[in-house]
Structure formats: C-alpha cells, structure tokens
Amino acid sequence: SVSCEFCLILGVILFRICWFAVFRLSTRQISTTCGVQGGQKWRLEHGLARSGTEYGPLTDLPDWSFADGRPAPPLKGHLRRKQERETLARRIVMLNSEVDQGMEMWREKQEEAKRVEEHKKSLLLKPKGKLLLKKKSKS
C-alpha cells in the first residue's frame, strides 16, 4: 500500500515534469520590444540616415540606364519619395510663413502696447512749481 502511494506520487511528479518540458519546448517566445536594426545608433551618431535604405545613392539613383546613355524611366518608389519630399517642402514653407506672420503680429502688439503706455504717461499730470525746478536741475 505504501509502495502504491509512492508509485502514484512518483508518477504524478514525472507527468508534471514531462508536461512542463513539452509545454516549454512547444511554445513560441514572443518579444514585445521594438527591434533595432544593426548599426542604427552608429549611423545616427555620424549624421547618416537611420537605415541604409532611407536616402542616399542606393535609393535615389536609378538602378539602370540604357546602353546609349539615356536615363531609365523613374521607378514608382522614386516618384513616391519625390512626391513626399515636395509635400514636406510645401508644408515647411507654409509653417515658416505662419511663424513669420505670428512674429510680425507679436511685434505689432508690442509696439501698440508701447504706444499705449507712452500715451498714458503723457496724460499724467505734469509737475509744477518747485518739483518742476528740481526735475530740470537733475537733468
């Protein structure tokens, strides 16, 4: 009876060990961290593109040309990148003009505030008598 219980307990333990080993080997490990391309940090530190395929001669120049020297027609990727750059340039120009307009309005408000302050000072009562003579003697 004791040996049967021992065998039963041993069997349960072996089953759990085997089940854990099989389960561990059969599951796939999923990483939720973002993958970093090799050399990305180095390229960014040296002022280059994040990856080798963002810009540069390998992506900007055509892959081939005709034997007589004529250039190849532009590829879809090249046309798309050109369109993206043009759109970005237009957006930069628009935002730059908005910043310029904002700075001009700010300057005008500052000048208007100065004029209002000077106008308020001009409306104040002027010193008379002894105060006027003291003020003139100081300046």
d(CA 83, CA 96): 20
Q: Which of 25, 23, 19 is nearest to 11 (CA)?
A: 19
pLDDT at residue 110 in the model: 97
Please state, in angstroms and rounded to a whole number, the distance separating the CA atoms of residues 106 and 99: 10
% of the chain at pLDDT higher than 90? 31
Position 94: which residue type? M
pTM of the model: 0.51
Mean predicted lDDT score pLDDT of the chain: 81
Tens-place pLDDT, residues 57-106: 778 788 888 999 898 898 898 899 899 999 999 999 999 999 999 999 99
Q: What is the pLDDT of residue 39?
A: 77
Give the tens place of pLDDT for each residue, 2-20. 566 766 777 777 777 766 6
Instruction: Check whether 24 has a pLDDT greater than 90.
Output: no
Separation CA 61–CA 74 (nearest Å): 9
Residue 49's pLDDT band (cuts 50, 70, 90): confident
Is 114 in contact with 121 (CB distance < 8 Å)? no
∠ CA 121-123-124, rounded to 5°:
70
